[in-house]
Structure 1
Amino acid sequence: MVAAASLAASVSIASADTEVTVSLGWLRNAQYAPLYAADVNGYFKDEGLKLQLLDGGPGKNPVSTVGAGQADFGITGGTFIFSARVAPDPVDVVAIGAIRQKSPYAYITLVNSTDPDPTPKDMEGKTIGIQTDGEIFLKGVAEKNHLDMSKMNIQVVQGGLEPLLTGAVDFISGHVHNQPYQFELEAAKPDAPENLKGKTWKALLLSDHGVPSYNDLIFATNATLKEKPELTRKFLRAVARGLQFMQENPEETAKLSAAYEGQLDTIDKLAWSLQVQNGLNASADTQEKGFLWMQPEVWEQQMRFYHENGQVPRVIPASEVMTNDFNPGVKSK
């Protein structure tokens, strides 16, 4: 009996899933849907892993959390990763995958449904609403597209879409998988304001018209990559399968995300946001190489831009901030 009990205990221990902890850059919302899909569909369990999420939010920094060994992996913007690498007290973190192949940061405008897509040149002579830290990005768009910023009326605004909805600005900076949903809600109302009727939203993505950049980067410390390479491969394979499921089954992903513990967005917003996100998550690289793939050139361009605008003290080789060595090769459509 004792032998049988010992055998049962050993089998239980051997079959226990390894807990993998992920520090999020924000509260649980639509942007982390690939993780929810991977978790609910058992992709982490297939790899012998058990997912544990650490919520982000105001005052929380996933780079610090991962750097201190309090999480195995983190998700954040690329700027936080290379800024940490060149800080006076550097944090040895490395990006191992880009969930968003293009940053969702954009200049959003309202147009008639029959109008052509806006171009950067359309921003001249218009009022542009930006947040307090947004001038360098607008400068990047102006330089790349030979725009005269003196012909723009630049206004600092809050993060919501209200200034655009009320006509106070013609373009407003925001994230295409978030703020335009406010327009969708207002325009759908029976008593929608006259200036919204017959309108649709369009966006000029910063990645297309200013600074190429990835977003929602998965990262880890170099120590984790060296000491736990198989854990890293398993984790990324599960996430990539979650991205693939989300691309092929957006409605089902919205439903399971809405029911996921701690997730804050409504199912309607999730369904809308995931359609937009799917367009940002896929690229020619993800079709050829697999979800999460990164190009060193994109990192180099982004780091040079931040250096030229005084945001980081120096530029370092892309090989010091990113690697595709653990990419599982799960391809997108």
Structure 2
Amino acid sequence: MSSQFDRRKFLTRGLAVGGFALAAPTVLSACVSSGAETGSGAGFGVASQRLAWIKNTQFAGSYFADKFGYYTQAGFSGAELVAGGPTAPPIESDVLSRTFAGVSQVPIVGSAVAKGAPLKIVGAVYQRYAGCVMSMGTKPINTPEDLYGKTIGCASSSEPVWRNFVAALGLDSSRIKTVPVQGDPIGMTAGEIDGYLGFINSQVVDLRAKGFDIRTMLLADVGFPLVGQVYITTQDNIDNNRAKLKAFLKAEIRGWTDVLADPQRAADLTVTEYGKTLNLNPQSTYQCCLAGNELIRNGKPGQQILTVSDEAAAANIAAIAAGGLKLSADDLFELGPIREVYQENPELTLA
């Protein structure tokens, strides 16, 4: 990969990822909070991050970190959580232009990096990617081969992941019809589409709560072993703002540890405060949080959440390489900072 990168040109032209032009950012919904407690005085400024989606329970760890002062205790003056959504600008362009960090997915980041974006993955919330093919119980999609002859709905933000998945598994894309759907799988329940690329800790729970018989095929279970909800930042931040990055990751670790310990409180925070304008169903939100927690845990004692092992990084590189993205682990991941956080703060390791 070339070491030369024109950031202004990159933002002006946009990130061409998966056939979609990722344009320079526009104004997004954000909230700047000063947190619950006084900071350490490190002077890191605002802990700004671009979320991958709307403010649902997928980002509850960040809500905890903000609400209970973990950012300010780490040295930040407050937090800015910038919401995404089906029509929001790309996460990667926001991280390059306005926020310190962002939450994305491996194939999307990989596509940007392959085109020259100076970004790195520095951690991951989910040990298994939450993406799944949803389908109705009357016409289930249980295996990749079941996709043939089907029409699958896919939000534009997830299209690069879908394209990479189909290629990685060696599926014939000409035998699968993909149509754009802006973040809502309800058309599947009316028979307009056969399946939908959604998230097992989000749309699946919502539709089941409405009484629909929903089947799922988790991409991670059928040969696409990605980590999910990855944290990204710029190479410049890694090189020149390492203490700030480690402080950010420490606050996130503390927040997600709280989510694992008290999913009900995480759901309550989402419904009543951070996602209040979304009018989320409290019980469904709680179930979404439980489903997400299962993706965070690796089933081993002494887990260090948000970390990515060398083996997992290699598996992710192999998966996206099969889909056409030729990168090395060093091109895409920088795992030193989060490992240093645990070395310096061993009490963060789960019991």
Q: Name the TM tier (shorter chain).
A: 0.7 to 0.9
Size of the alignment, in residue pairs?
Answer: 293
Question: Normalising to structure 2: TM-score of the pair?
Answer: 0.71
Once residues 198 and 41 of structure 2 are traced to their aligned partners in structure 1, the CA distance between those partners, rounded to angstroms, is 48
What amino acid sits opposite 1:242 in the alignment? G
Q: Deviations over 1:128-173 (max 9, x none)?
A: 5343844653454565xxxx999x8757473533354345666543
What amino acid sits opposite 1:297 in the alignment? A
Once residues 195 and 41 of structure 2 are traced to their aligned partners in structure 1, the CA distance between those partners, rounded to angstroms, is 57
Does the Cα contact within 8 Å between 1:212 and 1:301 map onto a contact in 2? no
Does the Cα contact within 8 Å between 1:98 and 1:293 map onto a contact in 2? yes
What amino acid sits opposite 2:304 in the alignment? G
What amino acid sits opposite 2:152 in the alignment? G
Does the Cα contact within 8 Å between 2:153 and 2:185 map onto a contact in 1? no
Change (3 A) 1:186 1:284: closer
Q: State the shift of 1:119 in Å.
A: 4.6
SS of the residue 1:210 aligns to: coil
Q: Does 1:178 align with 2:202?
A: yes
Select which of 315, 325, 330 maps to 1:298.
315
Residue 332 (structure 2) aligns with? 321
Does the Cα contact within 8 Å between 1:23 and 1:54 map onto a contact in 2? yes
Q: State the shift of 1:273 in Å.
A: 1.3
Residue 80 (structure 1) aligns with? 108
**Percent sequence identity over aligned pairs:** 17
Does the Cα contact within 8 Å between 2:134 and 2:141 map onto a contact in 1? no
Q: Deviations over 1:213-249 (max 9, x none)?
A: 1222111111111212121111111111111111110
Once residues 225 and 72 of structure 2 are traced to their aligned partners in structure 1, the CA distance between those partners, rounded to angstroms, is 35
Once residues 204 and 51 of structure 1 are traced to their aligned partners in structure 2, the CA distance between those partners, rounded to angstroms, is 36
Question: Normalising to structure 1: TM-score of the pair?
Answer: 0.74
SS of the residue 2:251 aligns to: helix
Select which of 287, 295, 316 maps to 1:272.
287
What amino acid sits opposite 2:241 in the alignment? K
Select which of 74, 81, 84 maps to 1:47.
74
Change (3 A) 1:127 1:16: closer
Once residues 71 and 168 of structure 1 are traced to their aligned partners in structure 2, the CA distance between those partners, rounded to angstroms, is 38
Q: Deviations over 1:178-205 (max 9, x none)?
A: 2223422321xxxxxxxx5xxx434211
Once residues 83 and 167 of structure 1 are traced to their aligned partners in structure 2, the CA distance between those partners, rounded to angstroms, is 32
Once residues 320 and 135 of structure 1 are traced to their aligned partners in structure 2, the CA distance between those partners, rounded to angstroms, is 21
Does the Cα contact within 8 Å between 1:157 and 1:163 map onto a contact in 2? no
Higher mean C-alpha displacement, 212-221 vs 53-62? 53-62
Q: Deviations over 1:36-69 (max 9, x none)?
A: 011112222221222122333424123222223x
Once residues 176 and 52 of structure 1 are traced to their aligned partners in structure 2, the CA distance between those partners, rounded to angstroms, is 27
SS of the residue 1:260 aligns to: helix
Q: State the shift of 1:27 in Å.
A: 3.1
What amino acid sits opposite 1:277 in the alignment? G
Higher mean C-alpha displacement, 210-219 vs 259-268? 259-268
Residue 225 (structure 1) aligns with? 238
Residue 60 (structure 1) aligns with? 89
Change (3 A) 1:136 1:72: closer
What amino acid sits opposite 1:178 in the alignment? S
RMSD value, Cα: 3.4
Change (3 A) 1:172 1:59: closer
Change (3 A) 1:16 1:105: closer
User: Mapping of 1:1-333 within 5 angstroms?
Assistant: 18-49=45-76, 50-57=78-85, 58-68=87-97, 70-87=98-115, 90-111=116-137, 119-120=142-143, 123=146, 127=150, 129-131=152-154, 133=159, 134=162, 137-138=165-166, 140-141=168-169, 156=179, 158=181, 159-166=183-190, 171-187=195-211, 196=212, 200-261=213-274, 263-265=276-278, 266=280, 267-284=282-299, 287-294=301-308, 295-307=312-324, 312=325, 315-327=326-338, 328-329=341-342, 330-332=348-350
Q: Deviations over 1:310-331 (max 9, x none)?
A: xx4xx12111211221223434
Does the Cα contact within 8 Å between 1:17 and 1:45 map onto a contact in 2? no
Once residues 109 and 142 of structure 1 are traced to their aligned partners in structure 2, the CA distance between those partners, rounded to angstroms, is 21
Instruction: Name the larger-Rg structure.
Output: 1
SS of the residue 1:212 aligns to: coil
What amino acid sits opposite 1:257 in the alignment? T
